[in-house]
């Protein structure tokens, strides 16, 4: 084979590799592990007694129900990222606080700290490095008159424990600032951002992404299709918008590295062919 043909073949291979990299970018994460409250609760496996239609993960025995009129944001996230539903493990419980308890359900358990403990106990204390971990909580601390500072600290504690289990990438939404509790939410959002910044300093190699719910684009979404009648929980259409902005804010590190490699290879080949 002539050197010219070899160069063309190699260039073709790199081009194909580059196309493949772009096409598979959405698969950089193999699974989603979700923690939190009713904003993330997707109910339990549909074939269990009282199961939730559409929840097809037999490992998902956690949660009460969807507090919406359809899928919640982490379900849309999995769909957007090409992650099978069986690879979405949702530990969230409606009513959960950032502590151990769940006052809304009258339970001393199912809070965020309990969820992390339960995951460690039931799933071998390991999180794959290509798992996207989501942690969304704080609203029930607000409803129960607890400190926004302590709530943010509790979230940081939960995340730190998840890092010890192997978690590498965390998506942490804040709370939307509105209504009579706007002052509490604003303080919580500031404390949460501060905690994430501190954690970033002491955890090199760990990626933290804050999802600002206040910036979710609601253009084109009818006013009566944003929140459920209770005025607390988003509709599934709103959840879908939340997932869309979340998806665009999470980079795919593996695909970025491959993309750079592909471009570098093409540039090198072109220079050698001159």
29-251: what CATH class? alpha beta
Q: Which residues partner with 132 through β-bridges? A: 32, 169
Q: What is the rounded CA–CA span in Å between residue 218 and residue 74?
A: 18
13-44 pLDDT, tens digit each: 444 433 443 334 444 899 999 999 999 999 99
Q: Residue 179's pLDDT is what? A: 87
44-93 pLDDT, tens digit each: 999 999 999 999 999 999 999 999 999 999 999 999 999 999 999 999 99
Q: Residue 253's pLDDT is what? A: 52
145-161 pLDDT, tens digit each: 999 999 999 999 999 99
Q: What are the sequence ranges of the domains in the chain?
A: 29-251
User: pTM score, two decimals?
Assistant: 0.83
Q: List C-alpha distances in Å: 86 to 45, 81, 158, 176.
A: 10, 13, 24, 30
Angle at 169 between CA 165 and CA 171, to 5 degrees: 115
* Of the candidates 121, 136, 17, the residue with the CA atom closest to the CA atom of residue 61: 121
Q: What is the rounded CA–CA span in Å between residue 126 and residue 119?
A: 9
Q: Residue 24's pLDDT is what? A: 40
Q: What is the rounded CA–CA span in Å between residue 31 and residue 45?
A: 17
């Amino acid at each position: 084979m002539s050197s010219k043909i070899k160069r063309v073949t190699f260039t073709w291979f790199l081009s194909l590799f580059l196309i493949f990299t772009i096409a598979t970018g959405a698969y950089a994460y193999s699974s989603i592990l979700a923690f939190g409250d009713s904003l993330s609760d997707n109910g339990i496996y549909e074939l269990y007694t009282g199961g939730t239609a559409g929840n097809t993960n037999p490992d998902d025995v956690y949660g009460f129900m969807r507090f919406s009129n359809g899928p919640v944001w982490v379900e849309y996230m999995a769909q957007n990222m090409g992650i099978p539903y069986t690879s979405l493990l949702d530990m969230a419980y409606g009513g959960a606080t950032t502590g151990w308890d769940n006052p809304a359900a009258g339970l001393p358990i199912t809070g965020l700290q309990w969820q992390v403990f339960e995951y460690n106990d039931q799933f071998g204390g390991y999180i794959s490095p290509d798992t996207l971990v989501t942690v969304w909580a704080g609203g029930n601390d607000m409803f129960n008159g607890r400190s926004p500072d302590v709530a943010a600290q509790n979230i940081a504690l939960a995340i730190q424990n998840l890092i010890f289990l192997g978690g590498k990438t965390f998506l942490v939404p804040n709370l939307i600032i509105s209504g009579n509790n706007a002052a509490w939410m604003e303080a919580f959002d500031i404390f949460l951002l501060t905690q994430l910044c501190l954690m970033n300093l002491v955890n090199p190699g760990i990626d933290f992404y804050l999802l600002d719910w206040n910036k979710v684009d609601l253009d084109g979404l009818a006013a009566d299709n944003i929140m459920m009648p209770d005025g607390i929980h988003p509709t599934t259409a709103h959840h879908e918008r939340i997932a869309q902005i979340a998806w665009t804010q999470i980079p795919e590190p593996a695909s970025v590295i491959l993309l750079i490699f592909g471009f570098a290879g093409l540039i090198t080949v072109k220079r050698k062919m001159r």
